Amino acid sequence: MTAREDLATPAVVIDLAVLERNIARMAQVAEAAGARLRPHAKTHKCPEIGRMQIAAGASGLSLAKTSEAEVFVDAGFDDIFVAYPVVGKGKPERLLALHDRCRLAVGVDSVAGAQALGAPFAAAGRTLDVLLKVDCGLHRVGVAPEAAAGIASRIAGLPGLSLRGVFTHAGHAYHEVSPEGVASVGRAEGVTLAETAARIREAGPSVSEVSVGSTPSARYAIGAAGVTECRPGNYVFHDASQVSLRTGTIEDCAMTIEATVVSVPAADRAVVDAGSKTLSSDALRPRAGGHGFLVGRTSRIARLSEEHGVIDVAAGERFTVGERVSIVPNHACVVTNLHDRIHAVRDGKVEAVWRVAARGCVE
């Protein structure tokens, strides 16, 4: 078996023991709360890891895009939620084709979008389950909680659709600078969505799924009475942002980037062969601060260009040309999307090389 230190760099390495522990822990959180776990597979994009999540008790997977769902259904997954308001030429027809092959649900957040989604299903005499996206404070997509009952009633009446439930995502937890702030966002996420579901039921439509999300907020949101499902993604790997948010520790980070020092042009500067093409340009959350953690070092990666990671060498540290380093990236989900393969390592040996099957699926 190839040793980690023999991999050509840069290379994405997944520590299998940490991955397995992360999967088991989140499964326990969901089980203890009596809620289903439907992990967001965008973080890994690998059927192999999705199967580990299902084996640990996950009820199905969440994905963001139609093309990602196609890859996972091709790989044999049979219960998929496309947690995104799918709109656009050809997409409803592609979802109709997927509906033949799995238990499928899709997000909606507008009557116009839902109508277009339902049309080919109605024409085919079929019914697609939809979940209404509710904005619990991120202010990205989703209807305001106070508008949800009215819109849900209109969507529930559209041909070709059945309202399965509501969902939300507390992405604003990533901007909270204290664990107390994260917990507060998480608790509000669960309570807001459960209350919104109750108001929709009062207005008429039934709501069987009440689905919350996000790795930092999951453990807080999942406890709210009425929440039925949780969709965290990043927890399988964690990353420097989760460490900064104190959602996990550095020991909980399953993903590292193996890189080589290619240049030491000055005493206070060293350059590795991992730049934004390897690590992405995503900033550290909740506060910007370098481009990943160098394992076992205090020096920081101060700036990136496409193929260069420029290290500000800390006083007392030294790097040499040809030396190898490990980097915990700021944001693991986007790293996966930049690579064709990830290397699953145990005790320093590469046990498997997994193709990132849903990489680049933007449609």
Q: How far is the CB of 248 from its own copies (least distance, A)?
A: 20
Q: How many CA atoms lie within 13 A of 314 on its CB side?
A: 8
Residue in 39, 60, 142, 248 binding its own copies, rule: CB under 8 A: 142
Tell me if 209 contacts its own copies by CB under 8 A: no
Residue in 42, 99, 172, 231 binding its own copies, rule: CB under 8 A: 42
Alpha carbon distance 257, 334 (integer Å): 13
- Quote the tokens at residue 54: 């299902």
Q: Which of 161, 222, 158, 165 is nearest to 190 (CA)?
A: 222
Look up tokens 């439907």; give the residue.
38
Count of residues near its own copies by CB under 8 A: 67
Contact set for its own copies, span 153-172 (CB under 8 A) = 171
Nearer to its own copies, 156 or 271 (CB): 271
Tell me if 219 contacts its own copies by CB under 8 A: no
Q: How far is the CB of 307 from its own copies (least distance, A)?
A: 5
Residue in 100, 251, 351, 363 binding its own copies, rule: CB under 8 A: 363
Residue in 87, 122, 198, 250 binding its own copies, rule: CB under 8 A: 87
Look up tokens 């996990």; give the residue.
248
Q: Are 332 and 45 in contact (CB under 8 A)?
A: no
Tell me if 250 contacts its own copies by CB under 8 A: no
Could you tell me which residues come within 8 angstroms of residue 249 by beta carbon, excluding any fewer than 6 positions away?
243
Residue in 337, 346, 352, 355 binding its own copies, rule: CB under 8 A: 337
Residue in 106, 264, 301, 357 binding its own copies, rule: CB under 8 A: 264
Residue in 31, 76, 123, 139 binding its own copies, rule: CB under 8 A: 139
Alpha carbon distance 269, 314 (integer Å): 9
| Cβ burial 60-90 (10 Å sphere, 16+ → b, else e) | bbbbbbbebbbbbbeeebeebbbbbbbeeee
Q: Which of 122, 123, 71 is nearest to 98 (CA)?
A: 71
Nearer to its own copies, 209 or 282 (CB): 282
Q: Which of 234, 240, 232, 236 is nearest to 257 (CA)?
A: 240
Contact set for its own copies, span 341-360 (CB under 8 A) = 359-360
Alpha carbon distance 248, 338 (integer Å): 24
CA quadruple 302, 43, 98, 201: dihedral, nearest 10: -110
> Taking CB under 8 A as the rule, which mask of x and - marks residues 95-134 in contact with its own copies?
--------------xx-xx--x------------------
Tell me if 189 contacts its own copies by CB under 8 A: no
Residue in 91, 172, 219, 291 binding its own copies, rule: CB under 8 A: 91
Residue in 22, 168, 242, 278 binding its own copies, rule: CB under 8 A: 278
Residue in 16, 29, 334, 352 binding its own copies, rule: CB under 8 A: 334
With H, G, I as helix, E, B as strand and everything else as coil, classify residue 348: coil
Nearer to its own copies, 223 or 329 (CB): 329
The secondary element (H helix, E strand) that includes residue 336 is helix 332-336
CA angle 303, 307, 309 (to 5 degrees): 30
Q: What are phi and psi of 119, to 5 degrees?
A: -50, -55
Residues that bind its own copies (CB under 8 A): 5-11, 42, 64-65, 84-91, 109-110, 112-113, 116, 135, 139-144, 171, 260-266, 269, 271, 273-274, 276-278, 280-283, 305-308, 310, 320-322, 333-334, 337-340, 359-360, 362-363
